[in-house]
Structure 1
Amino acid sequence: MRHRKKTVKLQRDAAHRRSLLANLACSLIEHGRIRTTLAKAKALRPVAEKMVTLAKRGDIHARRQAVAFLRQKDVVAKLFSEIAPVCEDRQGGYCRITKLGARTSDSAPMAYIEWTDIEDLAVAATEDDE
């Protein structure tokens, strides 16, 4: 029985799955929206939301935990400086998954995963550039 075994395996071993989710989370933080398979998007959502929760805490231990998982300091800096302030008043549900339909090559179900406050992030990014 699979009681209390929630991990989505994605047909990978543990190290490959961890690297995949870390890279997907980095891409989501960097670009704001990514196109991937539905299964990967559903596996990524809890990881990305935990990273935002860490960033909302904002202390040095949370930053070190985020760097330990994501392994990219510039992405962690963007997470803490741009994404966390926009999501400060939200209590969860930082990501949105939008289904796109089947991929033409192998009919895999595709989806967009993006931040729910994507408009606010775009405004904050343009203010930082000025």
Structure 2
Amino acid sequence: MKRGNIPKFGRTMDRRSAMHKALATALIEHGRIKTTEAKGKALVRFMSKLTRQAKKETISSKRELAKVLGSKAITQLTTIMPKLSLKGGCVRLIRLGQRKSDAASMVYVELIENSAK
């Protein structure tokens, strides 16, 4: 059984974490972003951790979010997440097909906000 195999995207750990942070910030600010399927799947895993922290609404959880996100993104995430009725799965992938130039599978990654109470 394979465990702990995460995609590395041909990057060092620092650059990979910077990519995750940049994608997460863009997703929170815009609500929906277009990216490759591999990056989208990695972003869904990364965002699930952030959404759990944002739902807690404690000072320590906001400090944990501050390690990853900017202040504008933190305020947006902490205002959206407590209203959602879902416990998890607040990020959705929508497949778009292949990019013409290199045939990479493209997806939309979006926050699910329509399930708000």
Q: TM over 0.5, yes or no?
A: yes
Give runs of aligned pairs for residues 43-82 of structure 1, distance below 5 A.
Answer: 43-70=42-69, 72-81=70-79
Higher helix share: 1
Distance in 2 (alpha carbons) for counterparts of 1:50 and 1:116: 15
Q: Distance in 2 between matches of 1:86 and 1:25?
A: 19
Q: CA deviation at 1:120?
A: 5.7
- Which stretches of structure 1, 4 residues or more, deviate above 4 A after TM superposition? none
TM-score, length basis structure 1: 0.83
- Quick one: distance in 2 between partners of 1:55 and 1:6? 26
- Residue 115 of structure 1 deviates from its aligned partner by 1.4
Residue-pair matches, total: 116
In the alignment, structure 1 residue 93 sits paired with structure 2 residue 92: no
SS of the equivalent of 2:35 reads strand
**Aligned-residue identity in percent:** 35
Residues 79-110 of structure 1 show CA distances to partners (whole Å, capped at 9, x for unaligned) of 112x21232x2121111101101111111110
TM-score by length of 2: 0.91
Distance 1:64 1:6 in 2: 28
CA apart distance, 1:3: 4.0
RMSD: 1.6
1:5-29 Cα shifts (integer Å, max 9, x gaps): 2322112110000000000000110
Q: Distance in 2 between matches of 1:80 and 1:32?
A: 14
Name the residue aligned to 2:29: 30
